[in-house]
Structure 1
């Protein structure tokens, strides 16, 4: 992924609320690491630095996942990319490129469902459990969490 960022890039960045709309606010960190997830992630990046003046009605851009992104921009608006509203534009990131914040995840319906696994583990046979270990307070400093 980092090889893509070695060049000046434009980012369409979904807000936290965009991920919440998809129910992904508590998704595991590796959710976008499989083939489909990585394709969705790379769909938010375009080679080169884009400015507000580049976001024109009926413009198409090619993302780093080699997908075509359709821009719609009506007079007096920031525009949309694949239906996601651009809510903040031209946020400059030093020498990496520019960010435009959007209110939806582009191609978000293609993100695989998060898999949650529940495991239960018993006490390993070589472990000794001592009742006092959890109840006896040692140390001389007060507990910062209880203050």
Structure 2
């Protein structure tokens, strides 16, 4: 049997529908669109793509949930991902305002190198142990509003969600700085929810905020704790370790879950005349 092709794509003749002024047929592929074209469109207009709905960890803040997913996948931002994972800040980044208008956000995410430069090699990670410090770290790098690269003009002052301000600078070589941190990857779209910039510094947190405990004094040394070389240690596991395994410091609590849902499913089978007969479900 002969086949009808449209640009090399087979037309399903059995799908023919007749209308007063024409006919319609189904085909199994898109015409004039391939994977390369889709990738090109995403790179150019990724801010128009609707984000898939995530049920966790923060259903009320889709931007924050997708941001966590994105920074977890990037090997340059695993430290920030761990800290974000153990926060519960979704109430500060809702998906819409009181009028149900959608809200967008911008994240300036510090790299692992930048965060490691603030840690001491012979001391616990303060961002793991100090809830207030960890929340301040996250909020200092989040801004309400979707800021494109063209919006980051020289001298622009931005207020972050920690109620602090920082200044954007444009250098002659075209690089962008937020305070003393340089943008090393620009304008990564988190679907239509917001934008991420990767930076090589930490904003709003100083060395004084990250205090190391005094080093033990011995007859041979009185030196203070030293800064580590990169990497200081592999990033901590996302979930607390097995309690039977000794740890160098107390594990973090599991991330807070904003909502818990329960779904009950009834099972039945069709019997005489199509009537439904419930099937008992044994309790485990």
Q: Same fold (TM over 0.5)?
A: yes
Task: Kindly provide the CA deviation profile for residues 54-87 of structure 1, in whole angstroms up to 9, marking residues without a partner as x.
Answer: 1111110111111111111123323110110111
**Matching residue of 2:164:** 67
**Matching residue of 2:210:** 112
**Matching residue of 2:114:** 18
**Matching residue of 1:42:** 139
Residue 24 of structure 1 deviates from its aligned partner by 6.4
Structure 1 position 9 matched with structure 2 position 105: yes
Residue 28 of structure 1 deviates from its aligned partner by 6.0
Structure 1 position 85 matched with structure 2 position 182: yes
Using the TM superposition, name which of 95-104 and 16-25 deviates more.
16-25
Please give the alpha-carbon distance, in whole angstroms, between the structure 2 residues aligned to 1:3 and 1:79.
30
Residue 107 of structure 1 deviates from its aligned partner by 2.3
* TM-score normalised per structure 2: 0.37
Superposition RMSD on alpha carbons, in Å? Answer: 2.8
Structure 1 position 56 matched with structure 2 position 153: yes
* Number of equivalenced pairs: 118
Please give the alpha-carbon distance, in whole angstroms, between the structure 1 residues aligned to 2:149 and 2:155.
14
Please give the alpha-carbon distance, in whole angstroms, between the structure 1 residues aligned to 2:120 and 2:150.
32
Secondary structure in 2 matching 1:107: coil
Please give the alpha-carbon distance, in whole angstroms, between the structure 1 residues aligned to 2:120 and 2:152.
28
Contact 1:52 1:90 in 2 (8 A): yes
Structure 2 unaligned residues grouped into runs of 5+: 1-88, 95-102, 214-247, 251-284
Structure 1 unaligned residues grouped into runs of 5+: 120-147
Structure 1 position 103 matched with structure 2 position 191: no
Task: Kindly provide the CA deviation profile for residues 31-69 of structure 1, in whole angstroms up to 9, marking residues without a partner as x.
Answer: 4521x4423321111111011101111110111111111
Contact 1:22 1:108 in 2 (8 A): no
Please give the alpha-carbon distance, in whole angstroms, between the structure 2 residues aligned to 1:8 and 1:83.
25
User: Which structure would you say has the larger RCO, counting Cα contacts within 8 Å and 6 or more residues apart?
Assistant: 1
Contact 1:10 1:45 in 2 (8 A): yes
Contact 1:31 1:114 in 2 (8 A): no
